[in-house]
Amino acid sequence: MTHPDWSDVGDRLQRLTRAPFPTAILGSQLHHWRLEPPLSPADLADLEDQLQVDLPDDYRSFLLQAGRGGAGPAYGLFPVRRINGRWQWEGDGADLTGLDTLSQPFPHVAAFNPAEGLPEPPAPADFTSPEAYEAAEEEYWKHHDAVAFDPEHSIGLLYLSHLGCALRHALVITGPARGHMWSDETADDNGYRPLHSADGTALTFTRWYRDWLDTVAPPKP
């Protein structure tokens, strides 16, 4: 199998640190166009052994060649680090990755919304007092959130980036959509959907990262 070549990434990101107004691009104020050092082959083997997963080949090669996280789409690529002997990803929403269930298959190939089919929230006009309405509304949202944000929906997803407003992108690690990028839009009540390129093909990690890189730091002519 031919692995992606990431040898150009460092130089292209370095160019951005010398560009006028580089902080005008979303997220750059956090990652400053820097990637954290790559993983060693031994570290990557330890990570996969600990989590009982085989990461998709293109993401594996990125971790080994380019970096373990940092500069990337939106607010950056969540870095993976070993903390107190435990490998984990860090960032706003990285904790949505179920480390103990990452090896279990993500079963979906099409967009789905766990909240679809739930009743509409209660309306004040349906209640005889503000107190009754507030109690009913609280109970409704408690049930809604238990359904919409159930961790069972994201088993097999590795969260990699925060887009702001609690919207995030994740990589499918196991299951029929393995190697494809998905969007978690549960914060907007829109559920989960696969990401696609302009021609309609499913986005791999490579295409997802390089589409961003080509936008912010086009290759030299």
**Six-digit token string for 70:** 């940092």
Give percent above pLDDT 90 in the chain.
87
**pLDDT range class, residue 219, cuts 50, 70, 90:** confident
Please report, for residues 21, 208, 217, the alpha-carbon distance to residue 18 in angstroms, rounded to integers and kept in the order given.
9, 24, 12
Interior CA angle at 93 toward 89 and 97, to 5°?
A: 55
154 Cβ neighbours under 8 A, 6+ residues apart: 96, 97, 98, 106, 170, 184, 192
Instruction: For residues 165-183, give the mean pLDDT.
Output: 97
| pLDDT at residue 1 tops 60 | no
Residue 24: predicted pLDDT: 65
Q: Are 177 and 183 in contact (CB under 8 A)?
A: no
pTM to 2 decimals? 0.93
For the chain, the residue count is 221
- pLDDT tens profile 191-201: 999 999 989 99
**pLDDT range class, residue 27, cuts 50, 70, 90:** confident
- Chain center to CA of 38: 19
Instruction: For residues 83-99, give the mean pLDDT.
Output: 96
